[in-house]
């Protein structure tokens, strides 16, 4: 019965109720939106690399190593000698390795020198291997495989010829224009930094630098591209390498072994742990966003209470009438609580619908323009927990008007003076 009374009472004050409803809906939308994006960001973050047991680079900070080897941000401070790499890769406990050689770029996208092993062993997400949308892994010296975003943004097709630039940066002036590469494969989109890079063989990487010294072209030392033979192009060094072990049990042992490597100072990190550390660094930002959205929600619920509280004054007569026909103060208390709950529930429903629809419509846009993949909005236990907290806070804050109505119904007599 009090639901019926509360419902009609709200309809009777549609404008102020509508405003309170919109305010609750917007703040719930913001809170749930922030939560969803945070969840998605964390998910995609921890999905960038999987199935790799160790990442090895020259000795530096773990985060730096993670950033340049996986996220392709920042630079390596030093390289690893090819001999060291071969020796460590030959260890009996090591199942496979993926060498990584960085330093060149193509129109702002980084070029990574690697081997076939990259396409065979690298995993992202939930142990998902890389697959080709078109073409195949690079086989020839001047073959290049490109990430999905590179292909889309630069509008590259299979068999296009491209020129790599020396060093990083959008507009490099030193181009390897004497040795064009041919696109032989385009990777399927992954939603990870894999999409934003170009992949050549280590030999190809070596070949384009043959007539270079200290990052500068040596004039007059042109070499015919066809004169190069792949087997003679052993690199002198690589930037980093990823390691897959035969047994996970050996991870810490191998890590220690690499960290104590005698020939040169190396660092081996566990990608999972390093990713967690990196995420924790971002948690300040994450918590700030969360705090702001909680405060926004709190103020809108407070606004809802204020709206109800000011309505109580106008409802003296109505309360007197209800009392006269036998309503207990509890009934009047429940009517006000129900009103708050109805507004808050409707606000939540509107917010969820708007968020689900908003994500549905912006998904393609975000993926296309920013390479950000956001999954559909779904009700997980965390979202349900947040909704529970919103409803509980509504009921607590609605105590202000409903207790006021309760007290009024106790002390005010039957005939409210008009």
Partner 1 sequence: MYPDSPENATLTVPEAKLDAVKINNLYFFYPGKARTAVLVIPEWRIARGARVFLKGPSGSGKSTLLNLLAGILVANKGNIEILGQNLGALSSRARDRFRAAHIGMVFQQFNLIHYLSVLDNIRLAAHFGKKDMVDLTVTAKQLFDALGLDNMLITKKAGELSVGQQQRVAIARALINSPELLIVDEPTSALDSDTRDAFMKILLEISQKQGNTLIFVSHDTALTHHFNHIVNLAEINQAGAVEYVC
To the nearest 5 percent, what fractions of the chain are helix, strand and coil? Answer: 55, 15, 30
Contacts of 114 (CB under 8 A, 6+ apart): 98, 99, 100, 101, 199, 200, 201, 202
Q: What does 339-377 look like in DSSP terms, one character per residue?
A: HHHHHHHHHHHHHHHHHHHHHHHHHHHHHHHH----PPP
Residues present in the chain in total: 418
Q: Is 90 in the site for partner 1 (CB under 8 A)?
A: no
- 415 sits near partner 1 (criterion: CB under 8 A): yes
The residue count for binding partner 1 (CB under 8 A) is 26
Q: How far is the CB of 384 from partner 1 (least distance, A)?
A: 34
12 binding partner 1? (CB under 8 A)? yes
Determine which residue in the list 9, 48, 115, 239 makes contact with partner 1, applying CB under 8 A: 9
Whichever of 345 and 416 has its CB closer to partner 1, that residue is 416
* Alpha carbon 368 to chain centroid, angstroms: 15
- Binding to partner 1 (CB under 8 A) within 305-334 occurs at 317-318, 320-331
**Stretch of residues binding partner 1 (CB under 8 A), selected from 3-11, 115-123, 194-202, 209-217:** 3-11
Dihedral (CA of 275, 277, 282, 287) sign: positive
Q: Which of 129, 134, 151, 139 is nearest to 196 (CA)?
A: 151
Restricted to residues 344-363, the positions that interact with partner 1 (CB under 8 A) are none
Minimum distance from residue 9 beta carbon to partner 1 (Å): 6
Q: Does 284 bind partner 1 (CB under 8 A)?
A: no
Among residues 383, 387, 375, 377, which one has the least CA distance to residue 354?
A: 377
Pick between residue 321 and residue 392 the one whose CB is nearest to partner 1.
Answer: 321
User: What does the alpha-carbon distance between residue 132 and residue 146 come to, in Å, rounded to a whole number?
Assistant: 10
Nearer to partner 1, 78 or 346 (CB): 346
CB of 399 to partner 1, least distance (A): 20
Nearest approach in angstroms of CB 293 to partner 1 is: 35
Instruction: Establish if 131 lies at the interface with partner 1 (CB under 8 A).
Output: no
DSSP per residue, 183-209: EEEEEPP-SSGGGGEEEEEHHHHHHHT
Q: Which is nearer to partner 1, 10 or 32 (CB)?
A: 10
Q: What is the nearest approach in angstroms of partner 1 to the Cβ of residue 382? A: 39
- The sign of the dihedral angle between the CA atoms of 383, 351, 335, 298 is positive
CB of 339 to partner 1, least distance (A): 12
Shortest CB 333 distance to partner 1, Å: 13
Here the tokens at position 88 are: 């460590």
In the complex, the smallest distance separating the C-beta of residue 8 from partner 1, rounded to whole angstroms, is 5
Q: Does 418 bind partner 1 (CB under 8 A)?
A: yes
* Complex with partner 1: residue 12 or 369, whichever CB lies closer: 12
- Give the closest residue to 270 by CA, choosing from 282, 256, 260: 256
| Closest C-alpha to 258, from 57, 70, 118 | 57
> Is the Cβ of residue 8 or residue 376 nearer to partner 1 in the bound state?
8
Residues contributing to the site for partner 1 (CB under 8 A)? 1, 4-5, 8-9, 11-12, 317-318, 320-331, 413-416, 418
């Amino acid at each position: 019965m009090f639901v019926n009374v509360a419902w009609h009472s709200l309809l009777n004050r549609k404008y102020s109720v509508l405003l309170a409803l919109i305010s609750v809906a917007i703040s719930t939308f913001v809170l749930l939106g922030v939560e969803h994006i945070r969840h998605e960001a964390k998910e995609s973050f921890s999905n960038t690399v999987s199935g790799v047991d160790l990442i090895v680079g020259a000795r530096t900070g773990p985060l730096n190593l993670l950033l340049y080897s996986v996220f392709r941000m920042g630079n390596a401070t030093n390289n690893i000698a090819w001999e060291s790499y071969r020796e460590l890769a030959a260890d009996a406990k090591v199942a496979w390795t993926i060498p990584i050689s960085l330093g060149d770029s193509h129109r702002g996208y980084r070029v990574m020198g690697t081997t076939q092993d990259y396409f065979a062993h690298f995993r992202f997400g939930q142990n998902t291997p890389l697959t080709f949308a078109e073409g195949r892994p690079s086989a020839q010296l001047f073959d290049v495989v490109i990430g999905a975003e590179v292909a889309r943004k630069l509008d590259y097709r299979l068999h296009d010829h491209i020129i790599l630039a020396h060093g990083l940066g959008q507009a490099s002036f030193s181009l390897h224009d004497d040795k064009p590469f041919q696109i032989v494969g385009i990777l399927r989109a992954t939603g990870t930094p894999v999409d934003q890079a170009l992949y050549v063989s280590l030999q190809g990487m070596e070949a384009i630098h043959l007539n270079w010294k200290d990052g500068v072209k040596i004039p007059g030392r042109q070499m015919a591209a066809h004169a190069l033979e792949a087997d003679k192009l052993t690199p002198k060094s690589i930037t980093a390498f990823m390691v897959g072990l035969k047994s996970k049990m050996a991870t810490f042992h191998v890590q220690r072994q690499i960290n104590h490597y005698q020939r040169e100072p190396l660092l081996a990190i566990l990608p999972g742990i390093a990713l967690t550390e990196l995420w924790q660094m971002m948690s300040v930002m994450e918590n700030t966003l969360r705090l702001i959205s909680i405060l926004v929600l709190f103020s809108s619920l407070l606004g809802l209470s204020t709206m109800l509280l000011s309505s109580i004054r106008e409802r003296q007569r109505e309360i007197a009438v209800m009392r006269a026909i036998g309503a207990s103060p509890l009934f009047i208390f429940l009517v006000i609580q129900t009103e708050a709950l109805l507004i808050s529930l409707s606000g939540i429903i509107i917010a969820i619908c708007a968020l689900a629809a908003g994500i549905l419509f912006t998904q393609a846009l975000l993926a296309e323009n920013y390479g950000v993949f956001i999954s559909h909005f779904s009700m997980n236990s965390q979202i349900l927990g947040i909704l529970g907290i919103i409803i509980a806070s509504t009921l607590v804050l609605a105590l202000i008007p409903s207790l006021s109505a309760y007290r009024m119904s106790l002390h005010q007599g039957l005939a409210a003076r008009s």
